[in-house]
Amino acid sequence: MRRLAHRYALEDCVLEADRWSYWRGVDDTLHRPVGLVLLDADHPHRADVLRAARVAAGAEDHRLHRVLDVLDDDEGSCLVVEWLPGAALEELAAPGPLPDAEACAFVREAAWTLATADRQGLHHGALAPRWLLRTTDGRVRVIGLETVAALTQVPADRRCSAGDAAGLGALLYAALTGRWPGDRQDSELPAAPRAGGRPVRPRQVRAGVPTVLDDVVARAMALDARAQPLRSPEEVARALEAAARALPEDGREPSERPGPPRDPGQPEPSRRNWPAAAALAVAVLLLVAVSVAVLAALRERGPADQRRAAPSASASATASAVAPGSVLGVVSARDFDPDGNGSENPEQVPQAVDGSAGTAWRTLSYSRADLGGLKPGVGLLLDLGAVEQVGAVRADLVGRGTSIELRAGTSPGTQAEDFITVASARGVGDQVMLRVDPPVQARYLLLWLTALPREGTGYRGGVSDVAVFRG
């Protein structure tokens, strides 16, 4: 089996194209599945994509898909990306339109994500249904900021605020009708009907589209010269906020709907003979697009945010369509082992809060998942430096099958019982979002691991990255 950097094992070639290929693989160090895109050194848009990568690395929004590592040498580049389970809007809308409230909430989340990027001077420029993802636990992710446009050489006049506003309008159109009003090569959804060279309005495609949502599409896509245009992602987001208040209550936000039965963004591990345009869009853009942020991110700051999570039945740990607040800084961290010998690999603790998914604090190895029955738990104690209102904590974990509690306090305790439990999750994957509802005032946060995943003949867990969000 071929390995890259003595770490990444290439298991199955999912897709081959001109001067690049996409593989399913495994990170042998952190024991998690990854996607790997191998780019030849003479890839035609390599320089543009790398430039876009450095620019996109400045985006700080957890809803942007991220890269885990980049290997680059004279033979080419390897982009290591998260293997993210979920369904793109393209697949969700293929059987038919989404419910109106769900379509509104889905695109609204994307609009707020791009509004954050827009304030930093960053744009997507190539929005299409395959670049808006809903993960299996209901989170919304936008794929390919700056980079998809670089890879596909989108004209510069579309890489702007107005271009993204129009793209969001097109995404809402697709969600409401199951038809795509943009360029045919950008989606496999059926084309929207056109009149006079323009797509007709959604209400002319599907009876019953709410007027408020039809108007948002028309204003974003400039389908009605008499309507006031929406010229930025934030304007689209605010228009959708207003539209949502006018819609009938159905009580079903995207995060509350059942997750998709399979992961369309990650093809089956067998060789596919896809059309060139679809292949380029579905695989490389998905992966190279995210690769972008890593080049600067790995050197200058922590990764943008989330990989996949498998939440437990705990309501406090379940992700919702509402995004966490701003990121709170962790001033210091230490291992927390009050029921053992008081020390659990303390020299590795900085690797859990260094902003790199490639390093981790790891527990000792135990004979059973419940820490060998020797103690109730072990973990990391985080110090925020001051009492803050905490709304959520995202933890990137080592292995799959960890049970974890988030405990909080205003003073440093010596026992786990000195902190109150504010969220928990059982048997999660390699990432979990622990949401605190309602938010809690705390300075100290304890990530308390109560069950560990299997590793070889024993059980061992760990934390590779942490982000704390304001409530």
Per-residue pLDDT reduced to its tens digit, 108-121: 999 999 999 999 89
Tokens 């990764």, residue located: 303
For residue 180, give both structure tokens: 């795509």
CA distances from 370 to 98, 361, 398, 433 (A): 43, 18, 16, 22
Higher pLDDT, 51 or 119: 119
pLDDT (0 to 100) of residue 446? 97
Q: Are strands 431-451 and 420-428 parallel, antiparallel or unpaired?
A: unpaired
313: pLDDT confidence band, cut at 50, 70 and 90? very low
Q: What's the CA gap between 330 and 466, in Å, rounded?
A: 9
DSSP 45: T
Question: What is the separation of C-alpha 250 from the centre of its chain, rounded to a whole number of angstroms?
Answer: 26
Distance, in Å, from the CA atom of 429 to the CA atom of 230, rounded to the nearest integer, reads: 40
pLDDT band at 57 (very low <50, low <70, confident <90, very high): low
206-230 pLDDT, tens digit per residue, is 989 999 999 999 999 999 888 899 9
Average pLDDT, the chain: 81
pLDDT at 325: 59
Phi, psi of 191 (to 5 degrees): -70, 145
> Residue 115 and residue 236: Cα distance in Å, rounded?
9
CA count, 13 A, side-chain hemisphere, 171: 33
Q: How far apart are CA 335 and CA 349, in angstroms?
A: 6
Tell me which of 55 and 140 has the higher pLDDT. 140
Phi, psi of 342 (to 5 degrees): 85, 0
Q: How far apart are CA 291 and CA 51, in angstroms?
A: 11
Higher pLDDT, 341 or 74: 341
Q: Whole-angstrom Cα distance, residue 371 to residue 366? A: 5
Model pLDDT, residue 46: 78
Asked if residues 167 and 187 have their Cβ atoms less than 8 Å apart, the reply is no
Partners of 76 in beta bridges: 40, 73
Instruction: Judge whether residue 303 has pLDDT over 50.
Output: no
Q: State the Cα angle at 455 between 450 and 459, rounded to 5°.
A: 30
Residue 393: the pLDDT is 93
pLDDT at 308: 33
Helix, strand, coil content of the chain in percent (nearest 5): 30, 30, 40
Cβ count within 10 A of residue 171: 30
Please give the distance of CA 380 from its chain centroid, rounded to a whole number.
24
> Distance between CA atoms of 43 and 54, rounded to whole angstroms?
18
Task: Read off the pLDDT of each residue in 316-324 and give the average, rounded to a whole number.
Answer: 36
Tell me what pLDDT residue 249 has: 57
Q: What is the mean pLDDT of residues 258-264?
A: 38
- In 323-400, at which residue ranges do the beta strands (DSSP E only) sit? 327-328, 332-336, 361-362, 378-397
Residue 46, both tokens = 């390599």
Are 419 and 409 contacting, i.e. CB atoms less than 8 angstroms apart? yes
**What's the average model confidence in pLDDT over 281-288?**
43
Q: Which pLDDT band, with edges at 50, 70 and 90, does 324 fall under?
A: low
CA distance linking residue 67 with residue 295, whole number of Å: 9
Phi, psi of 190 (to 5 degrees): -60, 145
For residue 354, which of 460, 433, 466, 444 has the smallest C-alpha distance? 466
Q: Are strands 454-455 and 361-362 parallel, antiparallel or unpaired?
A: unpaired
In terms of pTM, does the model score above 0.95?
no
Query: What residue ranges define each of the domains in the chain, with the CATH number in brackets?
Result: 1-306 (1.10.510.10), 315-470 (2.60.120.260)
Of 102, 207, 205, 117, which is closest to residue 167 (Cα–Cα)?
A: 117
**H-type helices in 153-248, by residue range?**
161-177, 202-205, 211-220, 233-246
| Strands laid side by side in the 132-135 sheet | 86-88, 132-135, 140-142
Whole-number pLDDT of residue 358: 76
Instruction: Report helix angle 161-177 to 233-246, nearest 10.
Output: 30
> Is 129 in contact with 180 (CB distance < 8 Å)?
yes
pLDDT beyond 70 at 93: yes
Residue 319 scores a pLDDT above 70 = no
pLDDT value at residue 35: 78
Average pLDDT rounded to a whole number, residues 240-248: 90
pLDDT for position 305: 37
pLDDT of residue 267: 40
pLDDT score of 195 more than 50:
yes
Does 348 or 325 have the greater pLDDT score? 348
